[in-house]
Amino acid sequence: MTKFQEVVAKAKHIAVITGAGVSAESGVPTFKGEGGQWKKWQYQDIATPEAFSRNPSRIWEFYHHRRHLVLTQKPSAAHLALAECESRLRKHGRSMVIITQNIDDLHRQAGSKHVLNIHGSVMETRCVSCGEVAVNHHHPICASLEGKGSPDPDIPEADIPVDQLPRCEQSDCRGLLRPNVVFFGETLDSHLLTKVEKELDTCDLCLVVGTSSIVYPAAMFGPQVASRGVPVAEFNMVTTPKTEYFM
Ligand SMILES: [Zn+2]
């Protein structure tokens, strides 16, 4: 612990990699947790680009439910501590970036300013026509989703006509919006990954918090930093496959 404090005291730019563990404490079920099921579907069968093209109403109901869960939760002690730490560092000309796999937006709600959401955010939309990405905290996001999205398989689906689902607010577009999250089977945003690489190449301390380092590419971020000889500290409840790389 003393060694860790010395390293922290010297660090000018800290990269923090977070995962489901920081949000589990807030009560937000993760993709893999809680049986990973909504109505009768497994998440990996419903959070896909094919499922969205086939039945955008179903996928919007599912994300409406997820947004509801996020909006009724508060940031955890871990989210708040990281936001506080960033704010203190900034006062001394030092910096922190959070690179998160979570899509729940709780880091930003906790007050963190510099957050890279590598899997996107349920609080953002992306237009399938013009590509516009926008932050959207309206709940429900459109009138037709009011009271919908129950995970109970016995409650029938809403089958909302596509013109009543969330639509792009660009006046000459009005295209269908989708949640700005990385669906199963999609690749990560390459611009965002370039930013992540830059942060990993320039940080002088890396913290890995609440992630089991199993999901790629995030699983390699810590080892990548460690291979430059930069200290990496892991904060997890259990030993993970990458623990051997870290201090
Ligand atoms: Zn648009």
**Does 147 show up as a binding residue in the annotation?**
no
- Kindly tell me the number of DSSP H helices and DSSP E strands found in the chain: 9, 10
CA of 138 relative to ligand 1 center, distance in Å: 18
Spatial distance between the Cα atoms of 47 and 68, rounded to a whole number of angstroms = 17
pTM of the predicted model as reported, rounded to 2 decimal places: 0.89
Classify 2-245 by CATH class: alpha beta
Kindly tell me the burial class for residue 145, based on how many C-beta atoms sit within 10 Å of its own C-beta (0-12, 13-18, 19 or more).
Answer: buried
Query: What is the pLDDT tens value at each position of the chain, 247 positions in all?
Result: 888 899 999 999 999 999 988 887 776 655 544 457 899 998 888 999 999 999 999 999 999 999 998 898 899 999 999 999 999 999 999 999 999 999 999 999 999 999 999 999 999 999 999 999 999 999 999 999 999 999 999 999 999 999 999 999 988 999 999 999 999 999 999 999 999 999 999 999 999 998 876 777 888 999 999 999 999 999 876 665 556 656 5
Domain segments of the chain as ranges: 2-245
**Does 128 show up as a binding residue in the annotation?**
no
Alpha helices in 11-110 (DSSP H): 20-24, 43-46, 49-54, 56-71, 77-91, 106-110
**Does 104 show up as a binding residue in the annotation?**
yes
CA of 180 relative to ligand 1 center, distance in Å: 13
Active-site residues, by number, are 119
Kindly give the interhelix angle for 190-202 and 218-226, rounded to the nearest 10 degrees: 30
Nearest to 177, CA basis, from 158, 163, 159, 190: 163
**Does 229 show up as a binding residue in the annotation?**
no
Q: Which two tokens stand for residue 11?
A: 């660090």
CA of 129 relative to ligand 1 center, distance in Å: 5
Under 8 Å between Cβ of 3 and 247:
yes
**Does 20 show up as a binding residue in the annotation?**
yes
CA of 179 relative to ligand 1 center, distance in Å: 13
CA of 171 relative to ligand 1 center, distance in Å: 8
* pLDDT score at 33: 44
With a CB cutoff of 8 Å and minimum separation 6, the contacts of 40 are 153
Instruction: Please give the torsion angle defined by the CA atoms of residues 111, 114, 118 and 123, in that order, rounded to the nearest 10 degrees.
Output: 40
